[in-house]
């Protein structure tokens, strides 16, 4: 358990060596899943406080966060290994998922978005923090030589995923009567 906390804190403080260790350690797979579940739960707490209270709000928030993360990770994998790949880029899905799972660690602070006045600030800070962590994770997992390329992959993927989530929300939003 100590190893998990060391990795988790390493991801939070944006320690590149922590992401390198996570990439190399196959035993960190379930720990990565645990981080994503923690972030999903934090999204549920935020969802419960932002409108639809109770279990429905929790479930909605958790689904949105997990769905958003899955879309983002899929886009990172696609863009990072095709459109913006470098000659030495090698993709191992498990390594990428493992590092991006830990890169989601700042998402645990989404729970603070349950306080309505703080929600916009929390979403902005957590988004920037998660992108920064993902940049390090992508650089390590896809063997990029430079941070700007990893940043381009993560930022482009994030923008597309936010656009898709907004489109989906627009489809499912009920008009106010």
CA gap 10, 37 in Å, rounded: 18
Range of the domain at 167: 2-37+65-171
**pTM (predicted TM-score):** 0.89
* Model confidence pLDDT, tens digit, residues 26-79: 899 999 999 999 999 999 998 876 555 678 888 888 998 999 999 999 999 999
Q: Is residue 135 part of a domain?
A: yes
Assign 1 to helix, strand or coil: coil
In the numeric block, which tokens belong to residue 71? 């879309």
- Taking 3-state DSSP, the helix, strand and coil percentages for the chain, each rounded to the nearest 5, stand at 85, 0, 15
Number of domains, the chain: 1
CA gap 72, 61 in Å, rounded: 16
- Residue identified by tokens 């981080």 is 35
Q: Is residue 109 part of a domain?
A: yes
pLDDT, position 170? 79
């Amino acid at each position: 358990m100590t190893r998990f906390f060391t990795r988790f804190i390493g991801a939070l403080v944006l320690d590149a060596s922590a992401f390198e260790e996570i990439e190399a350690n196959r035993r960190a797979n379930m720990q990565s899943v645990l981080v994503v579940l923690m972030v999903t739960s934090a999204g549920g707490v935020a969802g419960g406080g932002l409108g639809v209270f109770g279990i429905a709000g929790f479930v909605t928030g958790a689904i949105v966060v997990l769905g958003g993360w899955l879309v983002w990770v899929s886009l990172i994998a696609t863009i990072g290994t095709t459109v913006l790949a470098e000659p030495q880029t090698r993709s191992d899905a498990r390594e990428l998922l493992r590092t991006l799972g830990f890169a989601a660690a700042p998402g645990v602070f989404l729970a603070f978005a349950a306080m309505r006045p703080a929600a916009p600030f929390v979403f902005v800070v957590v988004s920037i923090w998660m992108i920064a962590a993902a940049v390090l994770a992508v650089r390590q997992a896809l063997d990029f030589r430079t941070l700007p390329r990893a940043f381009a992959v993560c930022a482009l993927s994030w923008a597309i995923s936010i656009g898709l989530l907004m489109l989906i929300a627009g489809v499912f939003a009920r008009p106010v009567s």
